[in-house]
Amino acid sequence: MSVKSFILVSFSALALAVSAMAQDGLPYKVLGDPSGTSPYFFGPNAFPIPDMVKDTKDKVTAELSGDYFSGRLASEPDRTGSVGFAVRIPLWTDRVNLSVYGQMHEWYSDNPEVRALRGVSGKYPLTGHCSGDVYVSTDMRILDERKFVPALTLRAALKSASGDEYEKARYFDAPGYHFDICATKSFPFAGDGFLKSFKASFNFGFLCWQTDIGCQNDAWIVAGSLELDTAVANLSADLGGYYGREEYYDRPASLKIKLDIIPDRMVSPFLYYQHGIRHWPFDQFRAGVRFSFAPFRGARPSL
């Protein structure tokens, strides 16, 4: 099978999977008006703002990270800790990656004020733990960067309905998907000094998930990024979010700052901070490590 044929088959399989996961409206509804299916009324991992995919990888990469979230929904913070993972695998070419990522498990501590604002019954304990959602995506570099042309990377992602404890407003028990495209342009610095390049990226896409009244919520994804690459680390700042059609605390936006330390090494640590600006009332702190390796011998073909 050619690479182009594989991409077409991947898109078709993704569309069939989304159709197969469609289901009737969920019976439980206490979380807001009109549907309450927005990031404002759930835990921090339920409706995350997608991270930008600026390029594909030519090596297998695996990430393991720990997160701490401090909520700002009420006068007293609610707290969440979680363990996340991400795996990206090149598929026959460095231009196409299969990515699997999500939260393996989370531990949370709410307070009565937060529970009341989220419409959660007071009969449930304020602390607990639960499993998270898993995402599967196909990431494709459809255009290489040239002198006056940015690189273009397309992503097609599917969200599982594996998250637990919907009745406690931790995860939303329904599938979703999103498509987005990212344009990236690099501006190299002259010479072989400490500063390597400056990059600017713009991301646009479409996000959809099923609500608890038998309908779906559609949202536009918009984000921009500035990145500085140096000899020892990469520093990036992303500003963006998505804009749902319900207009009821349904337009989250955030600032994300990420520091990758020696990203070209086999083992590289990274730090990540996210501040919710609108409709995502959390501060997130992440520390993780990335492993990169090339298990396949020989050169990979290019499209």
pLDDT of residue 7: 42
- CA angle 251/82/132 to nearest 5° reads 70
| 101-160 pLDDT, tens digit each | 999 999 999 999 999 988 898 899 999 999 999 999 999 999 999 988 999 999 999 999
pTM of the predicted model as reported, rounded to 2 decimal places: 0.84
Give me 172's structure tokens: 């939303």
Return the biggest CA–CA distance within the chain.
64
Residues 6 or more apart whose CB falls under 8 angstroms from that of 107 comprise: 80, 81, 82, 127, 128, 129
- The residue with tokens 């501006």 is 187
| 57-99 pLDDT, tens digit each | 999 999 999 999 999 999 999 999 999 999 999 998 889 999 9
Give me 44's structure tokens: 């921090």
**What integer best gives the mean pLDDT of the chain?**
86
| 203-219 pLDDT, tens digit each | 999 999 887 666 788 89
How large is the average pLDDT for residues 249-261?
95
Question: DSSP H helical segments within the chain, as ranges?
Answer: 3-21, 112-117
3-state secondary structure 197-266: EEEEEEEEEEEEEECCCCCEEEEEEEEEEEEEEECCEEEEEEEEEEEECCCCCCCCEEEEEEEEECCCCC
How large is the average pLDDT for residues 38-55?
92
How large is the average pLDDT for residues 269-283?
97
